Amino acid sequence: MGECAYREGELYVSVAHASYDRQSFRDVVDHTKGQPVTEPGLGDAAYSFHVQEDAQDHVLLDVLKGSRVVQITAPTAEEARKAASSVLPQLR
């Protein structure tokens, strides 16, 4: 399994290059802290989580696209979705 990562300020994007399917992706979602919210229209399946750490709020977005998982951490859900919309078309 490999991973690519990109960070700019409070935006963090990672792509896991492993063989995920819907069940293993669901396992990732189930083990993420917080209540998942379905994010329609992103990849094959997507969930966001509002997380508070060190008195800061941020959004974690997990997206399944094919056999890859993209995880995005951003200050807002809008920024997370915008980053996902830029990254997902690049994955084949």
Determine phi and psi for 30, rounding to 5 degrees.
Answer: -65, -25
In the structure, how many helices (H) and strands (E) does the chain have? 2, 6
Residue 47, Cβ density class (10 Å: 0-12 exposed, 13-18 middle, ≥19 buried): buried
Mind listing the pLDDT tens digit for each residue in 28-65? 899 888 889 999 999 999 999 998 877 788 999 999 99
Q: State mean pLDDT over 74-82.
A: 93
Mean of the pLDDT values across residues 62-91?
A: 92
29, 39, 89, 67 alpha-carbon torsion, rounded to 10° = 30
